[in-house]
Structure 1
Amino acid sequence: MAKKGGTATLQIEVTSDEEWDALLERKGLIVVDVFTEWCGPCVAMMSNLKKIKLEHGSDNLHLAVANADFVTRLSRFKGKSEPTWVFVAGGQLLRVFFGSNAPALMKMIVAEIEKEIKVLEGNAERVSVDWDELTEEEKAKNAELDAKRQLELDKIKAEEDVAKDRVKRRNLERIARQLTNQTVVLFFPHAITEPEEDGSTKRTCQAAYQLMVKYETASLQISDQLDRFVTEEDLKLILYNSDFEVPEEVIEEMKSRKCLVSLLQEVVAPSSPERRTSSSSYSSQLSRNEES
């Protein structure tokens, strides 16, 4: 069926499988502007198509417009807004051109006309693609679209990662503000004197007393202190990121004797009353815990 309006003598309109089959029976090169219903054909290319039609005559070149929504063979082009040009000859699919680059499209049309003339004269064989297969142009277009989609997905993922990292940092900062600066000092049994060893009534640790001055210098104070058994599993957790190895004899001694564990906390403000009385509190805290 001829297209109404100014394109009546230029392009054949195809809106059904029957009209498509009739179109394929024509000899020579057929260039089809394939469009989808909501988008319409590429009107901007009309003047270029008219010029090349006049130059090469109606016998060698046939122009058509086909609605992919109603032609089964063209269903893979449905829903696309980019101008799509399907090259057909002898009922066979030759090539597909995407876009509205007029010089490139005209150059391809001329090249395919020359090839088809040689085929019709018996001087060459037609190179075609099965209708159920993709042309090289379609494969390249799909690869391009896949690459664009992947870039978009990567961009979205990167933005999500940044957002997640921002939330994570904010949460960690909130947690950090709630935590005090603390550390633990562990005194092994061999550094502790038991009551029966020196005739006293409590366990004593000279190393713990000697370190009090160091705590003062480092703006630390004893927050808590206790005697407890430390297992090998506890040691693994304590030394998980250390190359230090506890001697076997010390580990054996820990099975029958308790260690002294001191919890140290950073002094809040050097000028605060808490800081000024920290030195005297060390001794009283240590003695109080050793007596317990």
Structure 2
Amino acid sequence: MVVHTSSRKGIWNLRWQHTFPLSTALSVCSAEMFQALENLEARRDDVVLVSYPKCGVNWLIHILSDLILTTIQSKPVSTELPFIECGDPDKYQRMKHIPSPRILAIHLNYDYLPRSIFKNKAKILVLFQNPKDTAVSFFHFHNNVPNVPSYSSWDEFFSEFMNGKVGWGSYFDRAVIWNKHIEDENIMVITYEDLKEDLTASVKQIAEIFGFSPTAEEIQCIAENATFQAVKEKAHETHGVVGSNLFRKGVVGDWKSLFTEAQNQEMDAKFKECLEGTKLGAKLKYDVYCKA
């Protein structure tokens, strides 16, 4: 299994204090984890969240956690980091003891997901954010989080992002593959912009996808407690020292602060080449969110 990384920086061996709620130093995406990944036995009722990095998955995890705790009140809180490619190889054995429904968050592409997810027909929620904001968020993550490889400039990062030489590879290659599976059984795509446009409606949709049955009042309460600002205010408590970087701004259109006109044109051409006229391209509403 291969995860593309920056050609300058090699394989990441990142460590940070992450409280979810366990506060412990974790090795992120080690070779041993990838070798052991197929040992994960997915369940039919797992809540599988897949995203490219910096598309808002930590926000989505918060929403799903609230949904689970609201509708399954006896569900204990797991101390395992929900990202299944992160941690130590013994994690998959420990996960066998986590009561259902478990949240399985994944940054890997379709072809690298554990086969048991498909074999056992777990439902997969795929999260995307428009590519311009994703790139800017990813850049700030690199340059603000301790022990994560940094870039000398936005221009340097943009070049590597467009060439797919960043951690977890090309955004556009990822999008093209998921577009091919957008109508597959048990796969649903949602966008960060959907969450920002109407969080209450998104919470209701997510609940329906995974078979949860909150009342209208519970949906409203979850949405009110899960606004980006509300989650950001608790970020240090829930995610430790990197919390402020995982929940940085939460706005749509931050790309305008960094993109040059030449970069705009380059990404517009890339989007047209890869996603124009596709179902995923339509969901991303590129003309609404990515045109100056």
TM-score of the superposed pair, with normalisation by structure 1: 0.28
Instruction: Tell which structure's C-alpha radius of gyration is larger.
Output: 1
* Richer in strand (by share): 1
